[in-house]
Amino acid sequence: MKPRIAFVFGGSEGIGLAVAERLDAAGTRVVVLSRSEEKLAAARTRLGPEARSHAVDVTSAAAVTAAVDALVADVGVPDLVVTTAGYARPGYLDELPADDIAGMVATNLLGTVHVCRAVLPHLRAAGTGTIVTTSSMAGLAGVFGYTVYSATKFGVIGFSEALRREVRPYGITVKVLCPPNTLTPGFAEENHHKPAEVLAAEESVATLTPEQVADTLVRALGRRRGFLVIPGRDSRLAAVAIRHLPAVVDRALRRPTT
């Protein structure tokens, strides 16, 4: 698959930007979208002259729909829509700021829904297209210290699985990207808030670069089959263990006793 036009939400940094760079290098006309005009300007300098950007907050359904409709009128219907917009605020549930609880739900889960609702009429009319949503390894197994984040990422997988079955008759493909810890600006910010026990538990967890995650996704786009896209050998092994060895995974992921 070589998309002609791609919309990448959350494409101004991290995994989204790495995906946009690879698509741009392959000749795809890329539009990156995020809230920050400053970050979008920096992203455009890293992309080719054909790349476009648009500022939008995915937590606003009306804003997302308006942005998508305007871009479709301007550059055309995308063959590929990738949404990586999201964030994690680790911490134990009774200590999490209420604004971050609402913010993760609004950005990670509802933001994904808003993007898909906005692009779906255009893809359905075209009779083709691929949507890639972004969950996490924490969307496959609940991780202590990430209660609300895990809930939103489990929700993304459930939503995407149902959407996949809904839109398949229209020739639309849905995939879910499930990265492990990835060296993004957002991950660096997470580390400022992680309880000591969470940091200790992550010492043995493999961390990937955004480029490694993007390479895995781009390869997966060439395969029509395959719903979950899991970057990294360790993560793929972990996904097998989550499915077949739940008791072992539970012992590995539970909060240590003091």
Q: CA-CA distance, 32 to 52, in Å (whole number)?
A: 6
Catalytic residue among 53, 149, 175, 235: 149
To the query of whether residue 135 is one of the catalytic residues in this protein, the response is yes
Q: How far apart are CA 161 and CA 158, in angstroms?
A: 5
How many angstroms separate the CA atoms of 180 and 183, rounded? 10
Axis crossing angle, helix 14-25 with helix 210-221, rounded to the nearest 10: 50
Over the range 7-38, which residues count as b (16 or more CB within 10 Å of their CB) and which as e? Answer: bbbbbbbbbbbbbbbbbbeeebbbbbbbbeee
> Do residues 120 and 167 make contact, with C-beta atoms less than 8 angstroms apart?
yes
Residue from 153, 160, 175, 235 carrying the catalytic annotation: 153
Is 12 annotated as catalytic?
no
Catalytic residue among 12, 34, 53, 135: 135
Q: Are 2 and 218 in contact (CB under 8 A)?
A: no
Active site residue 136: no
Strands (E), 60-144: 80-83, 129-134
92 φ, ψ (degrees, to nearest 5): -75, 145
CA dist 17 and 7 (Å) reads 11
Would you name the residues annotated as active-site residues?
A: 135, 149, 153
